[in-house]
Every structure is written in C-alpha cells, then in structure tokens.
A and B are shown apart, each in its own frame.
Chain A
Amino acid sequence: MSDVDFQQLVDQQYAPLYRFALTLAKSEADAADLTQQAFFLWASKGHQLRDRSKAKSWLFTTLYREFLGRRRHEVRFPKIELDEVPEEEMSISPNLNALDSPGVLQALREVEEPFRAPLTMFYLEQFSYQEIANMLEVPIGTVMSRLSRGKALLRQRLLSKAEALGNKVVSFQSNKGEESHGQS
C-alpha cells in the first residue's frame, strides 16, 4: 500500500476507530494507543489482506483483539440474562436530547464489555450483525442476543443519567399488558 493510500485509510478510519477504542479502554490515552497500534499492525501486516475492501473490518477486529490481549483475562465476561433487565425499563426511553455526546459515551462505557463491543460496532459504523459476528468470531444468534440485551442495558444507563440530571423520561411504548402478540 502506498503512503497516499495509507493516509487515505487513516483519514477514513482513525476517528471511528478511536471512538470504538474509547468505549473499550479505560482512558483516552489508552484509546489513542489502541488506535495507533491498529494502524501500526496494518502497516506491518496489512499487505497480507488480499481484499482491500475489508480493511475497515480488519482494523476494527485487530483493535478489538489488541484490547482483549492487553486485558489478559483479568475480567471474566459477566453473565447477564435478559430476564435481569426489568421489562418496564425496556419499554421507556430516556430523553436523548437532554444528554450530550459525552453522556451517551459514558453510558455506553458502563455497559458490560461483552455487550459493549457489538453495540459500538452497530452504532458507530453500522456494521451488520453478520459482519459483527465475523469480527468477534461469535455466532449470529449471539450477536443478536448481545445487541438486544446491550440496548436494554444502555437504556437503563441512559435513564439513570437522565434521572440524575432531573430530566423527565419520555414513555413511547405501551405497557407490558398492552403488548400484542402476532402469529407464532
């Protein structure tokens, strides 16, 4: 890859990669370091990738693996069941207008890591569930499950923040009892 091509790749991807790293890492410095490391690895190993259209996925996957490698099995993935997320709270949404970007970012960082990575890939770069499954090397069903649970957890965190700020939450979903069921 020529210097010009590399620079273009950096220009296109460094910001979303950094934001992805920011949701994983403990600090902005760590996030910047992870981002740099992903590009350094691309500079030394990227030529092995035959399909250049997959450079973006390669960078996200590499950054995520680098993060996991650094974490060194310190934290085991917490197991959180969907049933633990109260149905009532899943049916209401925080007033996002009341929250700024740092607030939303902070809420996302508070979501447990197994859910955070697919959520961030979904929101930041709008990767499909199939692409996320490939990058995280987990089955499609697991990705869908983590997106579903992760969104519920994110709403919880956002609600807490909105309530702490004294903002009212906006209910946009009927109560559980009103929920209808379609055909099986």
Chain B
Amino acid sequence: MDNREAKFFLNAYRPGGQDANDPRFAEALNQARCDPTLQRWFDESVAFDAAITEKLCAVPVPRDLRESILAGVKVSRRLRWPKPFIRWAIAAMLVLSAILGSLIWHKTGPTHLAGWQSEALEVMSSLVRNRSTFDAQSRNPTELLAWLHKNDAPAAQRLPENLERLESLGCKTFPWNGIPVSVICFMRPDGGLVHLVTTRASAGVEPAIKGKADVVQRGGWSTVTWREGDKIYMLALEGSPDQLRAYL
C-alpha cells in the first residue's frame, strides 16, 4: 500500500474515531503512524472533516418544520378511512373514473396548457391511478384547506360554491419550477372525480391564464383556469367540457 492508497482508505475514516477498530483501516492507520508525512496529512484531514461537520450541523432549520411534520402526519392518521370496505369502494371509484375517462377520450387540436398545468394533470393522473398517494385525506374539503394553509401551501380562502357541497378525497402538494402547487380531489355524484389545482400568481404561470369560460381539453381532460386575487386556479376532470361547466 502506498500513500495514495492509504489516503484513499483514510478519506472514509470518520473524524469521531468510531472506525479505530475497523480492520479495513488497520493497514492505512499503521502506515500513517510510520510515515510522518502521511500522519500529518491524516491529522489535518481529520481536522478538516471535523470542521466541515461542525459547520454543516450549524445550518439553521426552519422553525416551523417540526410542527409541520407532526401536524401533517397527525392529520393523515386522523383522517384515515376507518373501514376496509370504504377503501375498496374508493379504489373501485378511482378505477371507474379512469375507465370513464378513457371512454370519453377526446382527441383535441393544439393544447394550450402551460408547464405547471401539464404537471398538475400528471399528478392528478398519478393519484387517480393509485401510483402516488395524498399528502392528507379527508372527506371534508374544509379540513383539507386548513391543512394546506397550515403547511403554507397555496389554497383558496373559500372553495367555489359548486365544489363546497362535494365530498373530498384528499390533497397533494408539489413544486413546479420552485413554485408551490396544490391539488384537492373531490368526488362527483356520478362516481368520477373533479380536481381543484391552486398556485400563486407569478411570472411563470401567468401566460396560460384564460377566461373562466374557456375550457381547454387535453387528452381526456377538460380544464378551465382563472385568477382570483393573488391565486390562480385550475379546475379539471376527466370528461367533457359540459361535465366540467357544472362545477363552475
């Protein structure tokens, strides 16, 4: 073992000394003891590592992160569906929704959705097809709004009237190019789902906004986007524009 090899091993030696008895380091450590140059390099390397550890451990953590984690998990637990058959019913409804969406698949012309909207459709598809999970679940959309507000996620102060009367399934948040976006999924009386996407108005999302009456279709999805105050909303469902307009 030459010094270059010894350094290769010793770079993995923890500054706290926990590896003193690890046989993999024995030869390299022994060599350092016999070679003052290597020993000096090793001592300074350990000092460097200890200093880096100290600096990194001093990086501040957001003050509300702990509370946010505990509250988020708490609401997820509390709102968990109580009985197995309800879970099966939801799963069946999600499958039905996916099938219905496929049946009424519309091939449309050029689409007019911005990046964040496309990303939101992907997230919703992923939720509908059970490939990802909600951050919080509740049949009461007001609780989901409260959860989003508590977690500093974009959310309406109050839901549109036609959504307020629906039961919700859950909500999820995700970032798009650093811009936070949230989705709340509602259960429609016909067994399908309708989703409300919310984000904050910013330069990255403004260009895609159209009038509230303009329904944009993409694949089997119908969407409508509008702005209220500093928030931008997109309502979306897998279905026809007429089905969507029932919730505007």
- Residues of chain A with a CB closer than 8 A to B70's CB: 6-7, 10
Range class of the B interface residue count: 35 or more
Report the bound CA distance from A100 to B55 in whole Å: 7
Decide: B9 and A144 in contact? CB cutoff 8 A. yes
Report the bound CA distance from A183 to B3 in whole Å: 9
Decide: B57 and A124 in contact? CB cutoff 8 A. yes
Bits for A121-145, please: 1 = Cβ < 8 Å to B, else 0.
0111010110000000000000111
At the interface with chain B, which of A48-56, A160-168, A171-179? A171-179
- Residues of chain B with a CB closer than 8 A to A145's CB: 8
Q: How far is the CB of B200 from chain A (nearest CB, A)?
A: 12
Whether A28 touches B40, Cβ cut-off 8 Å, given contacts A39-B73, A44-B76, A147-B11, is no
Whether A172 touches B135, Cβ cut-off 8 Å, given contacts A43-B77, A105-B56, is no
Closest chain A residue to B69, Cβ basis: A39
Decide: B12 and A101 in contact? CB cutoff 8 A. no
- Residues of chain B with a CB closer than 8 A to A32's CB: 62, 65, 68
Is A181 positioned at the interface, with any CB of B under 8 Å from its CB? yes
- Residues of chain A with a CB closer than 8 A to B68's CB: 32, 36
Is B34 positioned at the interface, with any CB of A under 8 Å from its CB? yes
Decide: B57 and A27 in contact? CB cutoff 8 A. no
Is B214 positioned at the interface, with any CB of A under 8 Å from its CB? no
Report the bound CA distance from A174 to B39 in whole Å: 12
- Residues of chain A with a CB closer than 8 A to B48's CB: 93, 96, 151, 155
- Residues of chain B with a CB closer than 8 A to A30's CB: 175, 178
Q: How far is the CB of B147 from chain A (nearest CB, A)?
A: 12
Range class of the A interface residue count: 35 or more
Most chain A CB atoms below 10 A, which of B66, B74, B178 = B66
Report the bound CA distance from A96 to B66 in whole Å: 30
At the interface with chain A, which of B13-21, B101-109, B157-165, B238-246? B13-21
Decide: A180 and B3 in contact? CB cutoff 8 A. yes
Report the bound CA distance from A151 to B72 in whole Å: 37
Report the bound CA distance from A100 to B52 in whole Å: 10
Is B230 positioned at the interface, with any CB of A under 8 Å from its CB? no
- Interface set of B (CB-CB < 8 Å, partner A): 1-4, 6-9, 11-12, 14-16, 18-19, 22, 31, 34-35, 37-38, 40-41, 44-45, 48-49, 51-53, 55-62, 65-66, 68-70, 72-74, 76-77, 133, 135, 151, 173, 175, 178, 180
In the assembled complex, 15 residue pairs joining A and B whose CB atoms fall closer than 8 Å, in A order, are A6-B70, A14-B69, A22-B59, A36-B72, A39-B72, A43-B77, A126-B15, A128-B18, A144-B12, A151-B45, A151-B49, A172-B40, A179-B37, A181-B3, A182-B6
